A = this chain, B = another copy of it.
Amino acid sequence: MKIKNPRTGQYYYEIFPPSAKELKVKTGLMREAQITWVKSGIEFRIDALQAWKEVVGEFKDELIDALCMDTGRKWETILEVDLLASFIDKWSNISRNFFSKTDRKTSSIPFLEIEQEYEPYSLVGVISPCNFPLFLSLIDTIPALLAGCAIIVKPSEITPRFIEVLQKTINQVPDLLGILNYIEGGEETGEELGKLTDIICFTGSTATGRKVYQTACDNFIPVFLELGGKDAVVVTETADIEHATSAILWGSVTNAGQSCSSIERIYVHRNIFHQFVSRLVAKANQLNLAFPSMDSGQIGPIISEKRVAIINEQLEDAFKKGAILKAGSRKCEELDGGYYCRPTILTNVTHEMKIMTDETFGPILPVMTYTNVDEAVKFANATQYGLSGAVFAGKEEEAMTIARQMKCGAVSINDVALTAVIHEGKINAFKMSGIGGTRMEASAFEKFLKQKAYLINGQKTKDPWWFG
């Protein structure tokens, strides 16, 4: 399977997905290794992950290079590599705390006691996307490892170059050998994983997510899906426009808009509309494409070639229906074979346009006005997605009134996409944005553990009533 470079459009990498038979052998060995892994206890597992963290640190430059080749962008790469260490530390603490509890108690019937135990799933399958190839491959993997599972990770076939480097770091930690494996492959390999694992975690598009749900259903295993979004922001007339425009621009164009919780729709109170748009345009025009070099600007290429077509189609549809271009360009630009999209601000948009309803996954900022809170809420909820959202207002209560009515799992108040900054709070994806519990907080840990209870009759001579 040949892989293109997003900066050149040239094929210059090749992956060799394992055959179904190879995968079966590999996962069989992983299941065996997992028996020791879980028996070794939580401190052993924390030590192994801490050791891995050190090794990743040593290979940091090589890892960044590979990820830059995968994605064509740099500062977001450094950000996601830097996240790894604190992410491992955070889950080390949560898991130590989780396993330190001894769960034995008396039940509501005095002579019956309950002892709680947790048994990790033997083998977890993780299928991760191309937009943050490293971090999104780890978001479920780290807690699952600490829970005591073995994990097989299949990153997107669009961004596979980092796999070899990362697997090299894993191989340097003997205690992780056979416990954590990254493999190359596309959709077929993902389907194969569904047959061989005990639980599957997927991050990616809603369309693919539905297929993964089907794979889980066919194999009768639990599934956790975090899928697309069409995050809205509402800006009230009391909002600090300077702050709001900076934050929203950041939330929309970071990683060239290729984040599930990217801001994709902006609803501004009509009384501040012109002032808001004028500041947003001024700021957007300060940003540059990361071309010709990755350091030339903030906006890297569109990683997936298929995405370029979708963005262009949505823009074309919008312009055809009357959208006005205030900044950016009418379509993605091809530069030296790579495709780039400037921060693009649109006004005169309506909910008849795909750009306002379908996931864009590009740095497009369509701005619409609203006249009252009810309308703002109605607009914000006018989507099949329900990942997250944001509200900017002069007073927190004013923002919360709107936020409480938004049908999504997380709302940032006077900020954007805070779920990407603090991995805290219990958060569900609403509507078509996902299935399954939160990925944040200690409670996310439990999805990798089967809950087992011992119900102990301490008064064993008590007989059933009919012999009583």
A residues bordering B, Cβ < 8 Å?
107-109, 112, 114, 116-117, 210, 213-214, 216-217, 220-222, 240, 243, 246-247, 249-250, 283, 287, 298, 392, 396, 400, 403-404, 408-415, 418-419, 421-422, 424-428, 430, 432, 435-438, 440, 450-458, 460-461, 463-464, 466-467
Q: Are A418 and B217 in contact (CB under 8 A)?
A: no
The chain B residue with its CB closest to the CB of A240 is B460
A424 touches which of B108, B222, B400, B461 (Cβ 8 Å): B108
Per the bound structure, the CA–CA distance linking A408 and B428 in Å amounts to 28
Cα A403 to Cα B460 with chains together (Å): 16
CB-based contact B413/A427 at 8 Å: no
Main secondary structure of the interface of A (DSSP, over half): mixed
Query: Is B418's CB under 8 angstroms from A430's CB?
Result: no
A411-B119 Cα distance, complex, nearest whole Å: 14
C-alpha spacing A213/B216, complex, angstroms: 9
Asked if A415 and B452 sit within 8 Å, CB to CB, the answer is: no
In the complex, the answer to whether A457 meets B414 with C-beta atoms within 8 Å is yes
Question: Complex: how many Å from CA A114 to CA B409?
Answer: 13
A371 to chain B, nearest CB (A): 24
Chain B residue with the shortest CB-CB distance to A109: B422
| Contacting residues, chain B, for A400 (C-beta < 8 A) | 454
Nearest chain B CB to A398's CB is how many angstroms away? Answer: 12
A464 to B254, CA, bound (A): 10
Task: Please name 12 further chain A to chain B contacts, defined as beta carbons within 8 Å, in addition to the given A114-B424, A214-B217, sorted by A numbering.
Answer: A107-B425, A108-B424, A116-B426, A213-B217, A243-B461, A247-B464, A408-B452, A411-B455, A413-B456, A414-B457, A419-B455, A426-B451
Q: Which one of B220, B298, B409, B437 contacts A453 once the chains associate, using CB atoms below 8 Å?
A: B409
Q: Can you list 18 A-B pairs, Cβ within 8 angstroms, ordered by A?
A: A107-B424, A112-B418, A112-B421, A114-B425, A214-B217, A220-B432, A221-B435, A246-B464, A283-B467, A409-B452, A410-B454, A413-B454, A413-B457, A418-B455, A418-B457, A419-B455, A425-B455, A426-B451
Q: If A217-B217, A455-B412 touch, does A425 touch B116 (CB 8 Å cutoff)?
A: yes
Tell me the minimal C-beta distance from A351 to chain B in angstroms: 22
A294 CB to nearest B CB, Å: 15
Q: Which residues of B contact A409 (CB under 8 A)?
A: 450-453
Question: With A220-B213, A246-B463, A466-B298 given, is the CB distance from A430 to B450 under 8 Å?
Answer: yes
Please report the C-alpha to C-alpha distance between residue A432 and residue B220 in the assembled complex, in whole angstroms. Answer: 8
A432 to B409 CA separation, bound complex (whole angstroms): 31
Distance (Å) between the CB of A372 and the closest chain B CB?
A: 20
Complex Cα–Cα for A221 and B432 (A): 9
List 6 A-B pairs, minimum CB-CB distance, nearest first.
A425-B453, A250-B464, A415-B457, A418-B455, A426-B451, A414-B460
Contact of A456 among B246, B414, B428, B466 (CB under 8 A): B414
- Chain B residues with CB under 8 Å of A430's CB are 450
Given A450-B409, A460-B414, is A220 in contact with B435 using a C-beta cutoff of 8 Å? yes
**B435→A453 contact, CB < 8 A:** no
Contacts of A246 in B (CB 8 A): 463-464, 467
Q: CB-CB < 8 A to A419: which residues of B?
A: 453, 455
